[in-house]
Amino acid sequence: MFQPRITARPRPLIDDQVAIGSFRVKVLTVLPEMFPGPLEASLIGKALKEHIWSLEVLDIRDFARNKHRTVDDTPAGGGPGLVMKPDVAAAAIDHAQADAAGETVLWPVIYLSPRGRSLTQARVRELAAGDGVTLLCGRFEGVDQRVLEGRGVEEVSIGDFVLTGGEIPAMALIDAVVRLRPGVLGNAASTEDESFSRGLLEHPHYTRPQAWEGREIPEVLLSGHHARIAEWRLSQAERLTKERRPDLWRAHTSGEGAADGDRELSDAQTSAAKGGQTKD
Protein backbone atom coordinates (compact mmCIF):
# COMPACT_ATOMS: atom_id res chain seq x y z
CA MET A 1 0.00 0.00 0.00
CA PHE A 2 1.27 3.46 -0.87
CA GLN A 3 2.08 5.46 2.23
CA PRO A 4 3.00 9.08 1.69
CA ARG A 5 6.09 9.87 3.72
CA ILE A 6 5.85 12.86 5.94
CA THR A 7 8.95 14.94 5.36
CA ALA A 8 7.93 18.14 7.05
CA ARG A 9 5.24 19.06 9.49
CA PRO A 10 3.41 22.37 9.35
CA ARG A 11 5.38 25.14 11.01
CA PRO A 12 4.13 28.43 12.35
CA LEU A 13 4.65 31.30 9.91
CA ILE A 14 6.06 33.46 12.67
CA ASP A 15 8.36 32.08 15.32
CA ASP A 16 9.56 34.45 18.05
CA GLN A 17 8.77 37.58 15.99
CA VAL A 18 10.87 36.28 13.09
CA ALA A 19 8.94 35.16 10.03
CA ILE A 20 10.14 31.92 8.41
CA GLY A 21 12.40 32.82 5.50
CA SER A 22 12.82 36.35 6.82
CA PHE A 23 16.23 37.98 6.36
CA ARG A 24 17.60 38.57 9.85
CA VAL A 25 19.66 41.61 10.70
CA LYS A 26 21.34 42.06 14.06
CA VAL A 27 22.95 45.38 14.88
CA LEU A 28 25.46 45.80 17.70
CA THR A 29 25.74 49.43 18.75
CA VAL A 30 26.19 51.78 21.73
CA LEU A 31 23.46 53.98 20.17
CA PRO A 32 20.48 51.61 19.83
CA GLU A 33 18.11 54.61 19.75
CA MET A 34 19.38 55.34 16.21
CA PHE A 35 17.46 52.26 14.95
CA PRO A 36 15.27 51.64 13.03
CA GLY A 37 15.43 55.38 12.22
CA PRO A 38 15.19 55.80 8.45
CA LEU A 39 14.82 52.02 8.00
CA GLU A 40 11.23 52.45 9.15
CA ALA A 41 10.39 54.60 6.13
CA SER A 42 9.38 53.75 2.59
CA LEU A 43 9.84 50.34 0.95
CA ILE A 44 12.37 49.03 3.48
CA GLY A 45 10.07 50.02 6.37
CA LYS A 46 7.11 48.38 4.67
CA ALA A 47 9.15 45.20 4.20
CA LEU A 48 10.07 45.32 7.91
CA LYS A 49 6.36 45.47 8.85
CA GLU A 50 5.66 42.61 6.45
CA HIS A 51 8.37 40.46 8.11
CA ILE A 52 10.37 40.21 4.88
CA TRP A 53 13.29 41.13 7.11
CA SER A 54 13.73 41.52 10.85
CA LEU A 55 15.86 43.88 12.90
CA GLU A 56 17.32 43.02 16.28
CA VAL A 57 19.26 45.85 17.89
CA LEU A 58 21.62 44.92 20.72
CA ASP A 59 23.09 47.55 23.03
CA ILE A 60 26.80 46.79 23.35
CA ARG A 61 26.72 48.38 26.81
CA ASP A 62 24.60 45.45 28.01
CA PHE A 63 27.68 43.28 27.53
CA ALA A 64 29.99 45.42 29.66
CA ARG A 65 30.96 43.79 32.92
CA ASN A 66 31.60 46.65 35.33
CA LYS A 67 29.00 48.83 37.04
CA HIS A 68 29.90 51.81 34.84
CA ARG A 69 29.10 49.69 31.78
CA THR A 70 32.43 50.64 30.23
CA VAL A 71 32.79 49.59 26.59
CA ASP A 72 36.01 51.35 25.61
CA ASP A 73 39.45 52.24 26.85
CA THR A 74 42.50 54.30 25.86
CA PRO A 75 44.55 53.08 22.89
CA ALA A 76 47.60 50.95 23.63
CA GLY A 77 50.70 52.87 22.57
CA GLY A 78 49.01 56.17 23.30
CA GLY A 79 47.21 58.66 21.14
CA PRO A 80 43.80 60.28 21.12
CA GLY A 81 40.37 58.70 21.43
CA LEU A 82 39.08 55.41 22.72
CA VAL A 83 39.05 51.84 21.46
CA MET A 84 36.22 49.35 22.00
CA LYS A 85 37.27 46.64 24.43
CA PRO A 86 37.72 43.19 22.86
CA ASP A 87 35.98 41.28 25.67
CA VAL A 88 32.86 43.46 25.48
CA ALA A 89 32.69 43.42 21.67
CA ALA A 90 33.23 39.63 21.65
CA ALA A 91 30.46 39.06 24.21
CA ALA A 92 28.05 41.08 22.03
CA ILE A 93 29.08 39.21 18.87
CA ASP A 94 28.83 35.81 20.57
CA HIS A 95 25.37 36.64 21.85
CA ALA A 96 24.21 37.76 18.42
CA GLN A 97 25.64 34.67 16.73
CA ALA A 98 24.25 32.18 19.24
CA ASP A 99 20.83 30.98 18.15
CA ALA A 100 17.99 29.39 20.16
CA ALA A 101 19.62 25.97 20.59
CA GLY A 102 22.94 27.57 21.47
CA GLU A 103 24.20 26.83 18.01
CA THR A 104 26.37 29.30 16.15
CA VAL A 105 24.56 30.66 13.14
CA LEU A 106 26.45 30.80 9.91
CA TRP A 107 25.78 34.28 8.68
CA PRO A 108 28.59 36.84 8.42
CA VAL A 109 29.64 39.38 11.02
CA ILE A 110 30.57 42.68 9.41
CA TYR A 111 32.38 45.60 11.01
CA LEU A 112 31.66 48.89 9.23
CA SER A 113 34.92 50.76 8.92
CA PRO A 114 36.71 53.10 6.53
CA ARG A 115 39.57 50.56 6.62
CA GLY A 116 37.37 47.82 5.18
CA ARG A 117 37.06 46.53 1.64
CA SER A 118 34.67 48.71 -0.33
CA LEU A 119 31.09 47.51 -0.30
CA THR A 120 30.17 46.43 -3.83
CA GLN A 121 26.86 45.50 -5.40
CA ALA A 122 28.37 42.01 -5.82
CA ARG A 123 28.83 41.63 -2.04
CA VAL A 124 25.38 43.13 -1.47
CA ARG A 125 23.92 40.45 -3.76
CA GLU A 126 25.77 37.69 -1.88
CA LEU A 127 24.49 38.96 1.45
CA ALA A 128 20.93 39.21 0.12
CA ALA A 129 21.18 35.55 -0.96
CA GLY A 130 21.94 34.53 2.63
CA ASP A 131 19.83 34.23 5.79
CA GLY A 132 21.06 37.29 7.64
CA VAL A 133 23.94 39.46 8.77
CA THR A 134 25.31 40.79 12.05
CA LEU A 135 26.63 44.34 11.91
CA LEU A 136 29.07 45.73 14.48
CA CYS A 137 29.02 49.50 14.69
CA GLY A 138 32.11 51.22 16.08
CA ARG A 139 32.59 54.73 17.40
CA PHE A 140 35.73 56.72 18.24
CA GLU A 141 38.92 55.03 17.01
CA GLY A 142 37.30 51.65 16.35
CA VAL A 143 37.48 48.18 17.86
CA ASP A 144 40.41 46.23 19.29
CA GLN A 145 42.01 44.38 16.36
CA ARG A 146 42.04 41.05 18.23
CA VAL A 147 38.26 40.75 18.28
CA LEU A 148 38.11 41.25 14.50
CA GLU A 149 40.66 38.46 14.03
CA GLY A 150 39.38 36.20 16.79
CA ARG A 151 35.77 36.27 15.60
CA GLY A 152 36.48 36.28 11.87
CA VAL A 153 34.86 39.66 11.38
CA GLU A 154 34.77 41.08 7.85
CA GLU A 155 35.61 44.80 7.60
CA VAL A 156 33.53 46.69 5.06
CA SER A 157 33.65 50.36 4.07
CA ILE A 158 30.82 52.28 2.45
CA GLY A 159 33.21 54.90 1.07
CA ASP A 160 36.41 56.87 1.47
CA PHE A 161 35.25 59.37 4.07
CA VAL A 162 35.05 59.29 7.84
CA LEU A 163 31.80 59.44 9.79
CA THR A 164 31.38 59.58 13.58
CA GLY A 165 30.24 55.97 13.81
CA GLY A 166 29.28 52.82 11.95
CA GLU A 167 25.51 53.18 12.46
CA ILE A 168 24.80 55.16 9.28
CA PRO A 169 27.03 52.85 7.20
CA ALA A 170 25.14 49.88 8.73
CA MET A 171 21.84 51.44 7.66
CA ALA A 172 23.20 51.99 4.14
CA LEU A 173 24.25 48.33 3.92
CA ILE A 174 20.88 47.13 5.25
CA ASP A 175 19.01 49.26 2.70
CA ALA A 176 21.15 47.96 -0.16
CA VAL A 177 20.68 44.30 0.89
CA VAL A 178 17.00 44.35 1.85
CA ARG A 179 15.91 46.00 -1.42
CA LEU A 180 17.14 42.86 -3.23
CA ARG A 181 14.98 40.49 -1.16
CA PRO A 182 11.91 39.14 -2.95
CA GLY A 183 8.80 41.26 -2.44
CA VAL A 184 10.58 44.51 -1.56
CA LEU A 185 10.73 46.20 -4.97
CA GLY A 186 8.20 46.05 -7.77
CA ASN A 187 8.92 43.10 -10.04
CA ALA A 188 9.90 45.23 -13.04
CA ALA A 189 12.68 47.10 -11.24
CA SER A 190 14.23 44.09 -9.54
CA THR A 191 14.38 41.63 -12.43
CA GLU A 192 15.62 44.37 -14.74
CA ASP A 193 18.68 45.52 -12.90
CA GLU A 194 19.67 42.03 -11.80
CA SER A 195 20.02 40.32 -15.11
CA PHE A 196 21.20 42.86 -17.67
CA SER A 197 23.27 45.74 -16.39
CA ARG A 198 27.01 45.52 -16.48
CA GLY A 199 28.91 48.08 -14.53
CA LEU A 200 28.08 51.36 -16.25
CA LEU A 201 26.70 54.44 -14.54
CA GLU A 202 23.09 55.20 -15.33
CA HIS A 203 22.08 57.36 -18.26
CA PRO A 204 20.28 60.65 -17.45
CA HIS A 205 16.53 60.62 -16.85
CA TYR A 206 13.88 63.17 -17.84
CA THR A 207 10.19 63.72 -17.31
CA ARG A 208 7.64 66.37 -18.26
CA PRO A 209 7.44 69.26 -18.95
CA GLN A 210 9.15 68.97 -22.31
CA ALA A 211 10.73 72.40 -21.83
CA TRP A 212 11.77 73.59 -18.38
CA GLU A 213 13.71 76.79 -17.70
CA GLY A 214 14.73 76.81 -21.33
CA ARG A 215 16.07 73.24 -21.24
CA GLU A 216 14.55 70.63 -23.51
CA ILE A 217 14.23 66.88 -23.11
CA PRO A 218 16.64 65.33 -25.66
CA GLU A 219 14.66 64.88 -28.87
CA VAL A 220 15.45 61.19 -29.31
CA LEU A 221 13.56 60.40 -26.08
CA LEU A 222 10.38 61.86 -27.59
CA SER A 223 10.81 60.05 -30.91
CA GLY A 224 9.14 56.78 -29.86
CA HIS A 225 11.96 54.97 -31.63
CA HIS A 226 12.88 52.41 -28.98
CA ALA A 227 16.04 51.14 -30.61
CA ARG A 228 17.43 54.67 -31.02
CA ILE A 229 16.47 55.51 -27.45
CA ALA A 230 18.29 52.44 -26.21
CA GLU A 231 21.34 53.38 -28.29
CA TRP A 232 21.30 56.93 -26.91
CA ARG A 233 21.00 55.72 -23.33
CA LEU A 234 23.87 53.30 -23.75
CA SER A 235 26.12 55.97 -25.27
CA GLN A 236 25.24 58.36 -22.41
CA ALA A 237 25.96 55.66 -19.84
CA GLU A 238 29.32 54.99 -21.50
CA ARG A 239 30.19 58.71 -21.69
CA LEU A 240 29.36 59.29 -18.02
CA THR A 241 31.28 56.21 -16.91
CA LYS A 242 34.40 57.24 -18.88
CA GLU A 243 34.22 60.78 -17.46
CA ARG A 244 33.44 60.04 -13.85
CA ARG A 245 34.55 56.52 -13.11
CA PRO A 246 37.61 55.49 -15.12
CA ASP A 247 37.95 52.53 -12.72
CA LEU A 248 34.53 51.17 -13.67
CA TRP A 249 35.16 51.92 -17.33
CA ARG A 250 38.39 49.89 -17.33
CA ALA A 251 36.63 46.98 -15.61
CA HIS A 252 33.76 47.23 -18.10
CA THR A 253 35.96 47.28 -21.21
CA SER A 254 38.50 44.69 -19.99
CA GLY A 255 36.61 41.47 -20.51
CA GLU A 256 32.99 42.60 -19.91
CA GLY A 257 31.38 42.30 -16.50
CA ALA A 258 33.75 43.68 -13.88
CA ALA A 259 35.39 40.87 -11.94
CA ASP A 260 33.89 42.32 -8.77
CA GLY A 261 30.53 42.53 -10.46
CA ASP A 262 29.39 46.12 -9.99
CA ARG A 263 26.41 45.55 -12.19
CA GLU A 264 23.06 47.18 -11.64
CA LEU A 265 24.45 50.70 -11.80
CA SER A 266 22.82 51.26 -15.15
CA ASP A 267 19.86 49.84 -17.00
CA ALA A 268 21.20 50.97 -20.34
CA GLN A 269 21.81 47.43 -21.57
CA THR A 270 18.38 46.40 -20.40
CA SER A 271 16.82 49.12 -22.47
CA ALA A 272 19.13 48.32 -25.35
CA ALA A 273 18.09 44.68 -25.31
CA LYS A 274 14.41 45.59 -25.14
CA GLY A 275 14.63 48.30 -27.75
CA GLY A 276 16.52 45.95 -30.03
CA GLN A 277 13.71 43.43 -29.73
CA THR A 278 10.73 45.74 -30.08
CA LYS A 279 11.99 47.76 -33.04
CA ASP A 280 14.01 46.85 -36.14
- Which residues here bind ligand 4GX, judged by CB under 6 A? 112-115, 138-139, 141-142, 157-159, 161-163, 165-166, 169
**Shortest Cβ 80–ligand 4GX spacing (Å):** 12
Residues 6+ apart with CB under 8 A from 76: 83
Give the distance from CA 237 to its chain's centroid. 23
Nearer to ligand 4GX, 231 or 260 (CB): 260
Nearer to ligand 4GX, 19 or 82 (CB): 82
Nearer to ligand 4GX, 115 or 250 (CB): 115
H helix count then E strand count, the chain: 9, 11
**Shortest Cβ 30–ligand 4GX spacing (Å):** 11
Side-chain half-sphere of 30: how many Cα atoms within 13 Å? Answer: 19
Nearer to ligand 4GX, 166 or 275 (CB): 166
**Shortest Cβ 141–ligand 4GX spacing (Å):** 5
User: Can you point out the beta strands (E) in 34-176?
Assistant: 53-59, 72-73, 83-84, 109-118, 132-136, 154-157
Nearest residue relative to ligand 4GX (C-beta):
142
Q: What's the one-letter identity of residue 81?
A: G
Nearer to ligand 4GX, 119 or 234 (CB): 119
**Any idea what DSSP says for residue 204?**
P
**Shortest Cβ 79–ligand 4GX spacing (Å):** 12
**Shortest Cβ 86–ligand 4GX spacing (Å):** 14
**Through-space distance between the first and last CA atoms of the chain, rounded to whole angstroms:** 61
Rounded CA separation 140/142 (Å): 6
